[in-house]
């Protein structure tokens, strides 16, 4: 499965949200699995959208045919769009499905990992971070994705901001030390996204 993550700064919120509703046409596209998103909790003018496709081939076909028509409804409503593609490597918690039901927030972490530490980083994600997140109350589903240039995406969906905050307070610092994340990661960017149910396709 291919994961597309788009982050942009919105300059016309009403126009952007109106345009977002036009993506309701996506379910007819071959290989489309789901889409959703919302607003950054820390930066209120930043929007995140996550889309899921069965494969890169289906996604490329969509980009060549229908994307521009659907995207035209949001022209001029945002700037600084950053688009990244990741291949789904494994689930965080079992049985990941590309849907946004049952979740209020998404935590997204984007890491660039040092070449010689990729194997260690991936193993720590699978053996330490995954069980810790999967066992946390309020964690709904998530995934670990990879892209070229040693880029990785950890995406987790939570029932509420409070549940995610509790996990951060009680476990993250201890886990960072245990997994030697600082030694693995050359760059880390993250956000907490408050989901907009009307954006879910």
Could you read off the pLDDT of 48-86 as tens digits, one per residue? 999 999 999 999 999 999 999 999 999 999 999 999 999
CB atoms within 10 A of CB 97: 12
DSSP letter at 169 equals I
Question: Mean of the pLDDT values across residues 136-164?
Answer: 95
Q: Does position 150 have pLDDT exceeding 90, yes or no?
A: yes
Task: Tell me the CA distances in angstroms from 109 to 20, 29, 30, 31, 193, one per residue in order.
Answer: 24, 28, 29, 26, 11
Our count of domains for the chain comes to 1
- Here the CATH number for the domain that contains residue 141 is 3.30.70.100
In eight-state DSSP terms, residue 133 is H
At 68, is the secondary structure helix, strand, or coil? helix
Element (H, E) at 186: strand 185-195
Return the closest-CA partner of residue 107 out of 42, 62, 57.
Answer: 42
Task: Work out the mean pLDDT of the chain and round it to a whole number.
Answer: 94
- Does the structure show a pLDDT above 90 at 93? no
Cα torsion at 68, 108, 141, 78 (round to 10°)? -30
Q: State the maximum Cα–Cα separation within the chain, in Å, rounded to a whole number.
A: 48
- The pLDDT of 170-199, averaged and rounded, is 90
Does the pLDDT value for residue 18 go beyond 90?
yes
Question: pLDDT: is 177 or 123 the higher one?
Answer: 123
The answer to pTM > 0.75 is yes
Question: What was the pLDDT predicted at 112?
Answer: 97
Q: Give the percent of the chain with pLDDT over 90.
A: 83
Domain hosting 94: range is 2-199
Q: Round to whole Å and give the CA distance between 152 and 157.
A: 17
Per-residue pLDDT, 151? 98
Q: How far is residue 189 from each of residues 57, 109, 152, measured CA to CA in Å?
A: 28, 6, 11
pLDDT score, position 59: 98
**Average pLDDT, integer, range 25-36:** 96
Per the CB < 8 A criterion, the answer to whether 182 and 27 are in contact is no
How high is the pLDDT of residue 156?
A: 95
Q: Say if residue 170's pLDDT is above 90.
A: no
Span 91-112, mean pLDDT? 93
pLDDT-based confidence at residue 176 (cuts at 50, 70, 90): confident
């Amino acid at each position: 499965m291919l994961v597309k993550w788009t982050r942009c700064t919105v300059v016309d919120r009403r126009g952007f949200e109106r345009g977002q509703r036009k993506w309701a046409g996506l379910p007819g596209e071959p290989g489309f699995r789901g889409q959703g998103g919302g607003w950054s909790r820390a930066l209120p003018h930043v929007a995140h959208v996550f889309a899921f496709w069965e494969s890169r081939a289906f996604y490329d076909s969509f980009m060549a045919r229908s994307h521009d028509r659907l995207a035209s409804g949001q022209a001029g409503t945002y700037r600084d769009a950053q688009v990244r593609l990741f291949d789904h490597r494994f689930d965080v918690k079992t049985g990941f499905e590309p849907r946004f039901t049952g979740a209020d927030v998404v935590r997204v972490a984007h890491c660039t990992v040092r070449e010689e530490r990729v194997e260690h980083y991936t193993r720590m994600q699978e053996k330490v971070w995954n069980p810790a997140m999967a066992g946390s109350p309020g964690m709904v589903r998530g995934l670990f994705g990879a892209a070229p240039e040693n880029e990785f995406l950890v995406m987790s969906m939570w029932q509420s901001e409070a549940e995610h905050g509790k996990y951060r307070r009680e476990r993250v610092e201890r886990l960072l030390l245990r997994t030697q994340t600082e030694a693995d990661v050359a760059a880390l960017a993250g956000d907490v996204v408050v989901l907009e149910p009307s954006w879910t396709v």
